Copies of this chain bind each other. A is one copy, B any other.
Amino acid sequence: MKGYGPAELSESPRFAGVPTYLRLPHVSHLDGVDVAVVGLPFDSDASVRSGARFGPKAIREGSLGLHPHYNPAQRSAVFETLSVVDFGDAPVAAGFADRSQDRMAEHLGGLHAAGVAPLGLGGDHSVLIAELRAAAQRHGALALVQFAAHAGTLDELVGERYTHGTVVRRAVEEGLIDAARSTVLGVRGGLSSPTELDDARALGLEVVAWDDLAQFGTQAIAAVVERAGGKAFLSFDIDFVDPAFAPGTRTPEVGGPSSMQALAMVRGCRGLDLVGADVVGVIPENDSTNLTGILAATVAWELLTLMACRP
């Protein structure tokens, strides 16, 4: 192992002990660390369900059953390449969106300043603004590659401007992402208005609906990677996947990809120059088998692998 990596199974079983992501060391320093997994336990969840704040807990729990040492699909012994730790959770103030975003951005900024790439575990999609502010401060405007069932490009939601439904529009407006290099993938279901997707495209973003992605899978992803050009941030909202495969999410949108399809697309992003990534939108409370946490943990591990294979 290069530096920090998962615990061995020689002494005690997977279910024992205080659960960190992949049973990684839980540290509060950054020496010798390449990637820090960090929880972003904030949600406003102005929709039908609440509790994305418990997403980090569910993803950590869901990660315990994984066999992370070797990823055969990418032929990568992940932790021979990357030194990874569980850095705990960023500070937040539940119910107070503005101050929470500030605290998270400051916390993540410390990681970037130390040359450590954060892998965020959400939280609802609104945490993306904190992640991008921290990343852009160090790296400038990034290419965003977003997998999600909804575009996140509305202007307001229930009278508020900084929510999961508006976060991508805000990121463009704040200059945190370069719309010309960014793509939003997987939109499906009903729309708020006939022009919702055209409004998003008017920002400069590439928008690929799930129906199109289902048909042109591999090619579509290759185009996304090429379009991204330089430094990039990959955001994966678990609602991208069909709710049969990820029932514990905010507003489940039926008719989506299977987990097999979703994993193949994430793997297809090999080649992105990732300076950060996240998995968001996990709401574990009624997902009694934690299916969602397990899938999110697997996606996060594929994101780690992408970072290990970074060009």
Contacts and interface: CB of A to CB of B under 8 A. Distances in A.
Interface of A: 9-20, 26, 39, 41, 43-51, 53-54, 56-57, 60, 64-73, 77, 86, 88-97, 99, 126, 157-160, 163, 189-194, 196-197, 209, 211, 214, 242-245, 247-248, 250-252, 254-256, 258-260, 263, 285-291, 294-295, 298, 301
Contacts of A39: 16-17
Contacts of A259: 242, 244, 254-255
A88 B259 CA distance: 34
Given A92-B13, A190-B70, A242-B245, A50 B47 contact: no
A247 B68 CA distance: 21
A26 B20 CA distance: 12
Contacts of A295: 254
A71 B190 contact: yes
8 A-B pairs closest in CB distance: A44-B95, A65-B251, A67-B190, A247-B289, A16-B89, A12-B91, A46-B94, A254-B259
B252 A190 contact: no
Given A242-B260, A244-B259, A245-B254, A18 B20 contact: yes
Contact of A252 (B41, B159, B289): B289
A187 to B, nearest CB: 9
Given A20-B18, A46-B13, A193-B69, A242 B258 contact: yes
A255 B64 CA distance: 17
B258 A69 contact: no
A12 B11 CA distance: 30
A69 B282 CA distance: 26
Given A18-B26, A57-B15, A254 B294 contact: yes
Contacts of A43: 50, 95
A44 B50 CA distance: 11
A205 B88 CA distance: 40
A298 B258 CA distance: 18
